[in-house]
Amino acid sequence: MAAMDDHTTPNPAQAGVPQTKERATGSRGPWEHGEVGVLSAQQNESMEKWLRSKAIKLKV
Partner 1 sequence: MPEVYNWQLGRKMLYPYEERHPKWQFAFVFNINRCIACQTCSMADKSTWLFSKGQEYMWWNNVESKPYGGYPQFYDVKVAQLVEQVNPGGQVWNTRVGRKHHAPYGVFEGFTIFDAGAKIGQAAIGYIPTDQEWRFVNIYEDTATSMRALVDGNDKSGFTAAEPWRSQGSSLPEHETFFFYLQRICNHCTYPGCLAACPRKAIYKRPEDGIVLIDQNRCRGYKKCVEQCPYKKPMYRGTTRVSEKCIACYPRVEGKDPLTGGEPMETRCMAACVGKIRMQSLVKIGEDGLWTEDRWHPLYYTIRVEQVALPLYPQWGTEPNGFYIPPRHAPRGYIRQMFGPGVDNAIDRYIVPSRELLAVLQLWRASQQIIFRYDVIPGPKVFETQIHGRKFEMYNDTVLAFNKSGKEIIRIQVEEPIYVRPAERITWL
- Interface residues toward partner 1, by CB under 8 A: 7-11, 14-15, 18, 21, 23-31, 33-34, 38-40, 43, 46-48, 50-53, 55-60
Q: Who's near 28: CB < 8 A, 6+ residues apart?
A: 18, 19, 20, 21
Of 1 and 29, nearer to partner 1 (C-beta) is 29
CA distance 30 to 17: 15
Min CB(17)–partner 1 separation in Å = 8
CA distance 19 to 26: 7
Min CB(4)–partner 1 separation in Å = 10
